[in-house]
Amino acid sequence: MAALTALTKSLGYHCAKRSKISTFSQNFPSHNSRFQTLRTLILEPSLSESVKLNRLSDYDSGIVEVNLDRPEAKNAIGKDMLSGLRHAFEAVDRDSSARVVMISSSVPKVFCAGADLKERKRMTAAEVHSFVNYLRSTFSLIEELQIPTIAVIEGAALGGGLEMALSCDLRICGFRLKSEGGSSLAPIFNSAGGTQRLPRLVGKSIAKDIIFTGRRICGRDAVSM
């Protein structure tokens, strides 16, 4: 995990340098704040206890971290967490000092277990439709951010968790990574555009294999793809 963290920070730093050059060329204001700790909670609070918005301050380079912290549900995305994610990415989008955003997890061996199916069972059909639309638009917001986005995947990335990672520009994974498309979960996996984004990244043949079989993929296999 330490190696993954170091590699991610290095990648984020280099992305931030490139992003900063591009941003300065557009005459955005410079960022002069100084941070005292490695991770400083951004002053604008999250709407959810399970999503924390931090600024990595060791390089003072505008690297922002969206941290998933819902251990009791393995970071499953329910209404509260989705609202927190949306609020966090909207805050990043408004922050001209942000150069790179990383999505990470504080829950051991888990990135995101996907949608909260227990919560979904209690929703009406109309509520499910609204939730899916909100989930899709939130992941599209990640995709449309004007700065590099990095998914830091250490552990399981299932269903909507994989879709969120697919929405990022880059994915950096530990070898313990497990992800899935899931034929039995195909409607859920497709709720936020996963079946469209996956073939663009790995090609149609591999994407069909993953989606049709529902097999789980380790980090080594993901790299080879």
| Percent of the chain surpassing pLDDT 70 | 70
Domains and CATH numbers, the chain: 51-224 (3.90.226.10)
Question: If you average pLDDT over every residue of the chain, what do you get?
Answer: 78
Query: What is the DSSP secondary-structure string of 40-85?
Result: EE-SS--SSTTEEEEEE-SS-S-EEEEEE--GGGTT-B-HHHHHHH
Looking at residue 77, its pLDDT comes to 94
User: What average pLDDT score do residues 114-136 get?
Assistant: 91
Split at pLDDT 50, 70, 90, the class of 24 is very low
Of 188 and 84, the one with more pLDDT: 84
Least confident range from 1-5, 58-62, 114-118, 200-204: namely 1-5
- Please determine, for residue 177, whether its predicted confidence score (pLDDT) is greater than 70: no
Contacts of 104 (CB under 8 A, 6+ apart): 8, 65, 66, 67, 68, 152, 154
Beta bridge partners of 102: 65, 150
Other Cβ atoms closer than 10 A to 67: 20
pLDDT at 195: 81
Residue 222 zone, left/alpha/beta (φ > 0; ψ -120 to 50; rest): alpha
pLDDT at residue number 175: 64
Q: pLDDT tens across 66-111, in order?
A: 999 999 999 999 999 999 999 999 999 999 989 999 999 999 989 9
Quote the CA–CA distance of 158 and 178 in Å, as a whole number: 8
Q: What average pLDDT does this structure show over 6-20?
A: 57
